[in-house]
Amino acid sequence: MDRELMNMHVGKTIRVDRGGPESRIGKLLAVFEDYFVLLTESDGVVYYKTNHVRSITESSKDAMKLGLKIPEKLDYKSAENFHKLLESIRFQWVKINRDGGPESLEGVLSDSNKHYASLIVKDEVVRFSMKHIRNISYGLMVERTKKDDDDKSSSSYSSYSNYHSNNNEDYDNDQQDDDNEDNE
């Protein structure tokens, strides 16, 4: 996807790809050398590599609505290119290729270079080819909260690692179980 074309849509709600598991609707926050930043309702902040995007759609009648109120100061990571972005989120809990298929992974980003990214997934280190990473999120979520006295919702943002703390607790419990078995 052309950077100049993408820049014309910054601040607008768009659909990335027409359909399929990678298709998402969100607000385009920024465009960089080889990736862009999309805030989605269900996945939070997602970083898409532009060379994997087949199309973007903008509603001519402004019919695509994002059910979130975006905080004035949404502090998301940015870098001049995708490789440097990965360097800036090293040791964060990430999800690569959010489609839920066999090439979708979730774990701690331990290393990256121009050829691959290493992810710690439970007791394995998975090296993921950079050319096969379509998108990544490191956990910045905009949460919807309801007030008890009215039906209006307000938004705040938090870390995905806090949002998915149960996964970390399960991993920690598995580690403790393994340590206990080693000591016996």
The pTM for the full model equals 0.75
- 184, pLDDT greater than 90: no
Summarize the chain as % helix, strand, coil (round to 5). 20, 35, 40
Beta-carbon contacts of residue 162 (< 8 Å; ≥ 6 apart): 139
The three-class DSSP label of residue 84 is: helix
71, part of any domain: yes
Q: Which domain holds residue 65?
A: 3-142
Does residue 153 lie in a domain region?
A: no
**pLDDT reading at 100 higher than 60:** yes
Tell me, yes or no, whether 169 lies in a domain: no
Q: Where are the beta strands (DSSP E) in 12-87?
A: 13-16, 24-31, 35-40, 44-49, 56-57
pLDDT band (50, 70, 90) for residue 183 = low
- Going by pLDDT thresholds of 50, 70 and 90, the confidence category of residue 144 is low
Query: What average pLDDT score do residues 77-106 get?
Result: 93
C-alpha 46/C-alpha 14 separation (Å) is 13
* CATH number of the domain where residue 114 is located: 2.30.30.600
- 21 vs 58, more confident: 58
Quickly state the pLDDT bin for 56 (edges 50, 70, 90).
very high
The closest of 46, 32, 37 to 3, measured between CA atoms, is 32
